[in-house]
Each structure stands twice: as C-alpha cells, then as structure tokens.
Structure 1
Amino acid sequence: MAWTSEELDRIGRVSEVHITTYRSDGTLRRWIPVWVVRVADDLYIRSAFGSAGGWYRSATRDNVARIRAGDVETDVQLRPTSDASINSGVDAAYRTKYRGHGTALDTMVAPAAAETTLQLVSAG
C-alpha cells in the first residue's frame, strides 16, 4: 500500500517519528524517537548507533515495525537499502532538514548510520 500525499507531507514534516516493534506475543516494545526524511515520495530512517542500535536490531529481525508521527500511527514494512544513489539522496535530505544539529547530524550521515538506511513502506 502506498503512502497518501497527506501522510507523506505529515510524516515528512515532523522532526522525528517514534518507532516500535512487536514482541512475539503481539505487544509493543517501548517507542523510540528517530529522525525521518522524505526523498521524493519515499520516507527513510537510520540508526544513529549503526547496526548495534537496539531498535534497529529488533526492527530488522522481521522488517516490520509501527511508527507514530503526530496524528499518524501505522504499521510499516522496512526495506533496507544499500543503493548508493538512494543513500546520497537520503544524506542530502538529512543535511537539509537537520542542519544546525552539529555532531548529531554528522552521526546520521556517517557510513555506519548510512549502512542502516531503511525505507518506510506503508503497510496500511
């Protein structure tokens, strides 16, 4: 299921989304804030702590998560990407959206974080 224009606008505008994953019993883990960027009609997130990030390890186990951004809350599929041109666009989007965030921004465009780039795909 594709994102609606309204969802893309709302999610793309927020400074961060909150992400969680499901435990085996169906309950949700703790919500974690992560930065989100929009590139064209796609949404991306990264792990600031690279592949060692706890939420990232949990989320990429099944590549399914739940996000909350303002009044939008929905399940998503996570699509890992290592495509250099996509990552370049995601880097540029992070630099534009989060300029002025100093070392936090540097962390998000560093190779370790770039290796964790995940596209958020609406699961409706």
Structure 2
Amino acid sequence: MASWPSGELDRIGRLKEIEISSERSNGELRRWTPIWVVRAGDELYVRSGGGAEGGWYRYAVRSPVHIRTAGVEQRVRLELQTDPSVQSEVDRVYRKKYRFSPFRRFLLSAAAQSTTSRLVPEWPE
C-alpha cells in the first residue's frame, strides 16, 4: 500500500485546506476546488460537505484525482472508508481542527460522513 512521506504527511495534515481536481476523459483537469483535509494517524482524509452529490466528489469517485497545496501536486486515489471506527476518528479530528468554523457542521453531517475517503498517493512507476 502506498504511503505518504512523513514530511508531506505532516505538512498537508497541518493545512486548513488543499485543492482537489479530477481528470476529464481527455486527461485535462477540471477546475481546482478547495476542500478541508485532516490527518488521523498516518493517513489523510477528506469529505464532501455536499455528500455524495457534492460537485467535486461526484467526479472524484469516477476518475483519477489530483490534490495540490503550496509546493505539492500529487495524483491520489480516494479510498472510501465505511468502518464506523475510522469515521468516528475522522469526526473527532474534524471537530478539533475546525472547531471555530461555522461550516464544520457540514463535514460532520451523515451525508458528509458517508463520503469519508482516505487519500492514497499514487507514485509514478
């Protein structure tokens, strides 16, 4: 299983948001969308505030995905997490990291929780 280098894991996990884009059928990227990211253990997780019908999420589950932050652009795979203990831990981290945001409730909703996805880096071979 692919894993993040510790430096990138630390840096991305501290960020308030990253940008995500998915590939079109011709390989071009769709528009970049800012999303919240959390680190739980040695993994990075994202959710769609709009649930499974959220714009970026609908495309991201059907095509290759890229994330970018200051200085890093990485192709990733979204791996849906349905284990209640993982979802609970991701809830805990979202509550703590975004505790002062009035938008936090969207990422803690049942619809958003159903989209809890681990970011799995895909490295060139």
TM class, shorter-chain normalised?
over 0.9
Contact map agreement 1:20 1:28 (CA 8 A) in 2: yes
Query: Which position in structure 2 is the counterpart of 1:3?
Result: 4
Matches within 5 A, 1:34-113: 34-62=35-63, 64-102=64-102, 104-113=103-112
Q: Matched residues in 2 for 1:60 and 1:5: separation?
A: 26
Ranges in structure 1 where 5+ consecutive residues have no aligned partner: none
Q: How big is each residue's C-alpha offset from its partner over 1:12-50, in whole Å with a ceiling of 9 and x where there is no partner?
A: 011001000000101110000000000000000000000
Q: Which runs of 4+ in 1 moved over 3 A?
A: none
Which structure: greater helix fraction? 1
Alignment TM-score, normalising by the size of structure 2: 0.95
Contact map agreement 1:14 1:70 (CA 8 A) in 2: no
What is the alpha-carbon root mean square deviation over aligned residues? 0.8
| Secondary structure, counterpart of 2:68 in structure 1 | strand
Query: Which position in structure 1 is the counterpart of 2:31?
Result: 30
| Secondary structure, counterpart of 1:112 in structure 2 | helix
| Secondary structure, counterpart of 1:28 in structure 2 | coil
Once the 2 structures are TM-superposed, how far is the Cα of residue 80 of structure 1 from its aligned partner? 0.5
Task: Please state if 1:121 is matched with 2:83.
Answer: no
Q: Percent identity?
A: 48
Once the 2 structures are TM-superposed, how far is the Cα of residue 69 of structure 1 from its aligned partner? 1.6
Ranges in structure 2 where 5+ consecutive residues have no aligned partner: none
Q: Matched residues in 1 for 2:36 and 2:3: separation?
A: 21
